[in-house]
């Protein structure tokens, strides 16, 4: 069984997702197509990159990860196929695929190969997910390959790893999930107690063990299920309480 995951900012109000899947499933390859998420906020490349980073390795080796968050569709931005030892990534070269690819490189110990996908002449300028990337995935599933131009460096920035200064770790807010939990770029590590300070917040944010320990109307730090610190509230949205934005700096202070 061949696996394909599909991540996008298309939502479900329009038939965009269905049209892409029609191309994938109408190929005669009997691939298993998994919707990773289509709830990425429109044009939110960084949040899409994080969702792909946190999820890609749960799938079997050989899985093709198709990602389409593409505000530059129809422009000079490139389409790319990136081949790592265990996975394939297909989508626009705008940073969406980069964090997951770099994680594969770190984990696998082998440099990934990124290649430019040719845009066929006459292709429309608005829907490369259906008209370019999905057909390319079909060719991969069928074992068809053509000689493509190797790209030396992918677009976008590397993952914003936290910087350590003494007992402080400084990172940033990557975004928030549908529950309003703010996800930081600071990985969970060690057993010491921590507290956080968010830009614009007067009070330190304490660590708790679970959501029920958070005082009503307050926010707290919690160890996220994918290995990064999150700022949450109880039965509410920390993002709304704190009015944070992606990129806002956050500092953790570690105490033993």
DSSP for residue 58: G
Residues 10, 68: contact at Cβ < 8 Å?
yes
Using CA of residue 70, residue 71, residue 72, residue 77, what is the dihedral sign? negative
Query: Whole-prediction pTM value?
Result: 0.94
More confident residue, 250 or 165: 250
Quick check: helix, strand or coil at residue 19? helix
Q: Tell me which H or E stretch contains 53.
A: helix 45-55
**Cα 214-218-160 angle, rounded to 5 deg:** 90
Contact by Cβ (8 Å): 179, 237: yes
Q: What is the mean pLDDT of residues 45-54?
A: 98
Q: Provide mean pLDDT across the span 5-13.
A: 98
Q: What is the DSSP letter of 207?
A: B
Q: What is the pLDDT of residue 27?
A: 79
Which DSSP helix (H) or strand (E) runs through 157? none
User: CA-CA distances (angstroms) from residue 229 to 82, 140, 177, 194, 212?
Assistant: 29, 37, 13, 10, 17
Our measurement of the distance from residue 250's CA atom to the centroid of its chain's CA atoms, rounded to an integer in Å, reads 20
- Mean pLDDT, residues 35-49: 97
What is the model's pLDDT at position 171? 95
Q: What is the pLDDT of residue 194?
A: 87
**Worst-scoring range by mean pLDDT, 6-20, 152-166, 189-203, 229-243?**
189-203
CATH (residue range 163-255) = 2.40.30.90
Q: What is the pLDDT of residue 30?
A: 85
* Res 181 pLDDT > 90: yes
Neighbours of 204 (CB within 10 A): 13
Rounded mean pLDDT of the chain?
94
Can 3-151 and 163-255 be said to share one CATH topology?
A: no
Structure token pair of residue 188:
């969970």
Q: What is the pLDDT of residue 255?
A: 67
Write down the pLDDT at residue 2.
92
pLDDT in tens, 78-120: 999 999 999 999 999 999 999 999 999 999 999 999 999 999 9
Distance between CA 243 and CA 127 in Å, rounded?
33
The total number of residues shown for the chain amounts to: 256
20: left (phi over 0), alpha (psi -120 to 50) or beta: alpha
Sorted by where each begins, the domain ranges of the chain are 3-151, 163-255
Please state which CATH number belongs to domain 3-151. Answer: 3.40.50.10790
Identify the pLDDT of residue 5.
98
Task: Give CA 235 to chain center in angstroms.
Answer: 25
Q: What is the mean pLDDT of residues 47-62?
A: 97
Distance from chain centroid for Cα 191 = 27
């Amino acid at each position: 069984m061949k696996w394909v995951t599909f991540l996008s900012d298309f939502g479900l109000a329009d038939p965009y997702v269905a049209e892409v899947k029609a191309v994938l499933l109408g190929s005669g390859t009997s691939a298993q197509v998994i919707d990773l998420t289509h709830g990425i906020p429109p044009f939110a490349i960084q949040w899409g990159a994080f969702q792909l980073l946190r999820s890609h390795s749960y799938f079997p080796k050989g899985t093709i990860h198709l990602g389409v968050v593409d505000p530059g569709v129809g422009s000079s931005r490139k389409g790319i196929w990136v081949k790592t030892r265990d996975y394939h990534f297909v989508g626009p070269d705008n940073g969406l695929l980069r964090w997951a690819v770099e994680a594969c490189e770190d984990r696998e110990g082998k440099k990934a190969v990124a290649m430019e996908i040719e845009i066929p002449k006459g292709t429309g300028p608005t829907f490369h997910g259906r008209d370019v990337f999905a057909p390319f995935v079909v060719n991969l599933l069928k074992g068809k390959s053509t000689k493509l131009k190797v790209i030396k460096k992918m677009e976008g920035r590397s993952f914003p790893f936290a910087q350590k200064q003494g007992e402080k770790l400084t990172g940033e807010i990557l975004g928030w999930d549908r529950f309003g939990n703010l996800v930081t770029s600071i990985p969970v590590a060690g057993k010491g107690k921590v507290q956080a300070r968010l830009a614009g917040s007067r009070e330190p944010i304490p660590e708790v063990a679970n959501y029920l320990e958070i005082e009503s109307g307050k926010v707290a730090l919690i160890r996220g299920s994918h290995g990064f610190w999150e700022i949450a509230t109880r039965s509410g949205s920390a993002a709304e309480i704190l009015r944070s934005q992606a990129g806002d700096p956050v500092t953790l202070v570690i105490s033993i």
